[in-house]
């Protein structure tokens, strides 16, 4: 078992700014009741495929401001009740909807500016996340032309747009 083997009742966990480059399944083992996980600002560049496998109760995941460029295809497979996913500040290569096929309960998605710059379409998000209500955008990019255009499209479609208050 991992570092949390004696903390089975833990529901909220924040591990930020700890210079974790590689996240493994063993690191999160024993957190079966975890509902909130914040891993922002760690420099994570790799998350092993089964890292979130035991976190079936997780409904809030923050991976913002790490060095991730892509995700393994099954990374979010067991996160069926996830309602919030924040990916601010990631330089993702593309939006791969198939990775998020099980996240039908997602209501808030923190969109990385990199995806907006790569012409992410709102329709891709609404098809992938049918219960989506709020689209989060990075505060520091709110003057960016592509972000402004995307924001206007979201608002015109009835979505609540929320800017993060995350400053680097």
| Residue boundaries of the structural domains of the chain | 12-163
For 85-96, how does the pLDDT look when each residue is reduced to its tens digit (9 = 90+)? 999 999 998 899
Q: Evaluate whether 44 touches 72 at the Cβ level (below 8 Å).
A: no
- The pLDDT assigned to 165 comes to 64
pLDDT above 90 (res 18): yes
Calculate the average pLDDT of the chain.
91
Given pLDDT bands bounded at 50, 70 and 90, which one contains residue 166? very low
For 54-86, how does the pLDDT look when each residue is reduced to its tens digit (9 = 90+)? 999 999 999 999 999 999 999 999 999 999 999
User: What's the angle, vertex CA 84, arms to CA 118 and CA 149, rounded to 5?
Assistant: 35
For 22-31, how does the pLDDT look when each residue is reduced to its tens digit (9 = 90+)? 999 889 988 9
Q: Which two structure tokens, joined as six digits, stand for 143?
A: 């003057």
- The pLDDT assigned to 143 comes to 87
pLDDT above 50 (res 168): no
pLDDT above 90 (res 40): yes
Please report how many Cα atoms fall inside a 13 Å half-sphere around the Cα of residue 30, on the Cβ side.
Answer: 12
The CATH class of the 12-163 domain is alpha beta
Distance CA 74, CA 148 (A): 32
Minimal CA–CA distance to 72: which of 37, 44, 47?
A: 47
Statement: the pTM of the whole predicted model exceeds 0.75 = yes
Q: How many residues does the chain have?
A: 168
Q: Evaluate whether 61 touches 79 at the Cβ level (below 8 Å).
A: yes
Minimal CA–CA distance to 47: which of 73, 75, 17?
A: 75
Decide which of 167 and 40 is more confident.
40
């Amino acid at each position: 078992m991992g570092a949390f083997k004696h903390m089975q009742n833990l529901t909220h966990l924040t591990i930020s700014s700890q210079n974790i480059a590689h996240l493994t399944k063993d690191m999160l083992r024993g957190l079966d009741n975890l509902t909130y996980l914040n891993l922002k600002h760690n420099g994570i560049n790799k998350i092993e495929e089964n890292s979130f496998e035991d976190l079936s109760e997780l409904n809030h995941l923050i991976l913002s401001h790490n060095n991730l460029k892509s995700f393994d295809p099954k990374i979010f497979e067991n996160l069926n009740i996830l309602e919030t996913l924040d990916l601010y500040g990631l330089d993702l290569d593309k939006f791969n909807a198939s990775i998020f096929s099980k996240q039908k309960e997602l209501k808030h998605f923190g969109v990385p500016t990199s995806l907006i710059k790569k012409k992410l379409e709102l329709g891709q998000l609404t098809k992938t996340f049918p219960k989506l209500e709020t689209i989060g955008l990075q505060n520091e990019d709110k003057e960016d032309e592509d972000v402004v255009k995307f924001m206007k499209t979201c608002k015109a479609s009835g979505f609540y747009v929320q800017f993060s208050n995350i400053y680097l």
